[in-house]
Structure 1
Amino acid sequence: MTEPRKGALPASADMPVWSIVRGRDGASLTLSGRWIGRETALPRFTAQDLTANASRETARTPAPGGRGDIAPSSPAIQRLACDLSGVSAWDTGLIAFLWDVRQACTEAGIRFDSEPLPSPVQRLLGLLPENARPAQGASRRKGRPAFLERIGGGFIAMLAETGAIAALARQTMQASLRILSRRSGMRRSDLLNDFASAGPSALLIVGVVNFLIGAILAFVGAVQLQKFAAGIYVASLVGIASVREMAAVMTAIIMAGRTGGAYAARISTMQGNEEIDALRVFGIPISSYLVLPAVLSLVITMPLLYLYGCLIGMLGGYVVAISMLDITSLGYFHQTVIAFGPGQFVFGLVKSIVFGAFIGLTSCRIGMKAGRSAADVGIAATRAVVIGIVGVIALDAVFAVIANSVGI
């Protein structure tokens, strides 16, 4: 027997309505009309509707013998099937309605039979989770977690992220070793574009910053060293500071803010446009196609930018020293050459390579784990810049301890 129809009162045959029809082996949910969400407000289906239909007496029939006795009510619904033969048109609003029906069946302990549904409806409904509602009675902890719990959770999350970056570095290294056999999956055009963005395009800002840093070091040194008639050692101060610390660190900070943020924004935009998902579907490794060109371009350009920054920094110190002190150009050059040896340059080159690899890996990792909205692109770029700058300074502190231990 047919239950009273739910939803809006049907003003015409095109209005979306539903009803439940009882049978001996279960019940059938019958739908009719046009289920187009953009045309009209679609009916809602809740667990209360299903419970009310399951507990209602469906029919009273004469008992065997013809005496007009009233039979007891039929048992509760055990299985619910769907009949869409009366639906003339539908869109995703119908899928949302059927999903609500499936959720209500799950809560009521009724088996939802999706076999009678058309195959397109089954495929779309299969994309939705079976049960997206939290279990009733589940204990929920109120308030903020304890202080030690927050510290422990943050530390565990940091270790997990460190492991993910290490795994990405291993995959990128393995892909780089396959470059010689031309099986790395990296396109040469991508490497050239990243190389041009990280190298020649950054010369101006790297030069300006390192020139000003060298000039500031020379100015501060000249003010103090003049008191002891040791102005000539300004050249040594600027040279050692540029080669050991300032050129590598300042160049890495510039690249973290300029190139690292751009990498994170680019990959997070691809994540939002589902391009990363498309690459995975086609079996293209992300580490070879996206991460390897970015990391390799920074690893190649950072040592070159470091040497360029050293020269420009010394030039800035030279301009200030010549204008403020009674020092000749030849004397400044001679004092700069004898201030440090080739080992200082090697140490700075190693630091710049590590900085470049760190910036590339962390920026790509942040972009890959970003969300899919437009706001997440800005968040990923900001996070890449902050983590890149802080990480470079932390790595420089580690290198300072190592240099002190080995006597460099």
Structure 2
Amino acid sequence: MALTGRWMTRDAALPVLPDDALDALPKGDTLGFDIAGLESWDSGFVAFLWDVKRAGQKTGVTLRTETLPPAAARLLGLLPDQAAEPPAQTGRKPGFVEQIGDRTFAALTETGIIAELGAQAVKGGLQAVAGRGRMRMADLLANLTDAGPRALLIVGVVNFLLGAILAFVGAVQLEKFAAGIYVASLVGIAMVREMAAVMTAIIMAGRTGGAYAARISTMLGNEEIDALEVFSIPVSSYLVLPAVLSLTITMPFLYLYGCLIGMLGGFVVAIAMLDVTGAGYFHYTVTAFGIGQFLFGLSKSIVFGAFIGLTSCRIGLKAGRSAADVGVAATRAVVVGIVGVIALDALFAVIADVLNI
């Protein structure tokens, strides 16, 4: 068989071996190749040779590859005589109970993996405090800057508007009972106990959690994660720990900031709509809750921050390696973060009721 000219895939003019090309050859005969006129070749040339190899196996013809380019002969030797058969489709769909069991086991597995990832992050943090950690302070400072000062604007705007909305709705109802001054208590308790922590966590899940997942999945696609593993650099200390620490550290401060800004929003609406003085609003705000409410909100914000950091990093680490998987990972991290924060807040509500907080 004489092979001449260019055999490049991008030329889109490669010949196709007919199905009956070797049927006329006697069984047990040999087929050699003349490459005197061969110019350049790539994988398209090897694909054509594989077609010849499979056709020869089918008709009982033996190929002589010693005249082929050495690289092409080696690649052809790695290919099987026959293409692998696709797996047979059973056509059986799992039942409803089986689906529930599979999803339950998958959820429990993911919970265990996230818990293990959190334990590794805690261990890495303790090692960093002792001076034996693999975390770079530059990465921690960069994550702290992104999750802290750069998030102040959006956290402030959302909490200000939320406090204003609470004050407006409360004023409309409380004025009917000549109790407009209690708008200050309503806004203060709502912001300190629930809204500031939950809304700030939701903002950070959409803003920072999605960014973490997209960044790690991009590194996975670029094989940077594989390079870290080759050099025995633990991913939990190099990538996960700075992300989790930055959110765990900044979330309490963002919570306090959101409380103050939310109360300011309620103050603006109350002064504009009600016959309330600034001193009276401040008095009813301070007396509406105690230090226990602040501590309860702070504890929630810390848990929310650690949860968002761990789940976002885990979703990024298990993402695919294509460009589309980066967007999927970011979207999934945002959805899981928001739903998880609300679920954790419901759990905290039950705990508060049991502890009579």
Give me the whole-angstrom Cα distance separating, in 2, the residues matched to 1:127 and 1:309: 63
> Alpha-carbon deviations, 1:307-326, whole Å to 9, x = none?
00011111111111222222
Partner of 1:293: 242
Give me the whole-angstrom Cα distance separating, in 1, the residues matched to 2:58 and 2:108: 39
Q: Are the counterparts in 2 of residues 47 and 107 from structure 1 also a CA contact under 8 Å?
A: no
Instruction: Return the letter of the residue paired with 1:214.
Output: G
Partner of 1:58: 28
Partner of 1:24: none
Unmatched 5+ stretches in structure 2: none
Give me the whole-angstrom Cα distance separating, in 1, the residues matched to 2:239 and 2:340: 22
Structure of greater Rg: 1
Question: What is the Cα deviation at residue 121 of structure 1?
Answer: 6.3
Partner of 1:255: 204
Question: What is the Cα deviation at residue 57 of structure 1?
Answer: 3.1
Give me the whole-angstrom Cα distance separating, in 1, the residues matched to 2:132 and 2:268: 50
Q: Are the counterparts in 1 of residues 4 and 35 from structure 2 also a CA contact under 8 Å?
A: no
TM-score with structure 2 setting the length: 0.84
Q: 1:152 to 1:328 in 2, by over 3 A?
A: same
What are the within-5 Å matches in structure 2 for residues 6-405 of structure 1?
10=2, 14-15=4-5, 35-39=7-11, 41-42=13-14, 56-58=26-28, 90-96=41-47, 133-134=84-85, 139-142=88-91, 144-405=93-354
TM-score with structure 1 setting the length: 0.75
Give me the whole-angstrom Cα distance separating, in 2, the residues matched to 1:83 and 1:283: 48
Root-mean-square deviation (Å): 3.7
Give me the whole-angstrom Cα distance separating, in 1, the residues matched to 2:17 and 2:45: 11
* Larger proportion of helix: 2
Instruction: Return the letter of the residue paired with 1:220.
Output: V
Question: What is the Cα deviation at residue 155 of structure 1?
Answer: 2.3
* Larger proportion of strand: 1
Percentage identity across paired residues of the two chains? 66
Instruction: Return the letter of the residue paired with 1:92.
Output: S
Number of aligned residue pairs:
356
Q: Are the counterparts in 2 of residues 46 and 101 from structure 1 also a CA contact under 8 Å?
A: no
Question: What is the Cα deviation at residue 209 of structure 1?
Answer: 0.8
Unmatched 5+ stretches in structure 1: 16-33, 60-76
Question: What is the Cα deviation at residue 14 of structure 1?
Answer: 2.5
Q: 1:152 to 1:352 in 2, by over 3 A?
A: same
Give me the whole-angstrom Cα distance separating, in 2, the residues matched to 1:236 and 1:262: 36
> Alpha-carbon deviations, 1:147-194, whole Å to 9, x = none?
333333222222222222222212212111111233322222111111
Question: What is the Cα deviation at residue 143 of structure 1?
Answer: 6.3
Q: Are the counterparts in 2 of residues 37 and 91 from structure 1 also a CA contact under 8 Å?
A: yes
Instruction: Return the letter of the residue paired with 1:350.
Output: S
Question: What is the Cα deviation at residue 301 of structure 1?
Answer: 0.5
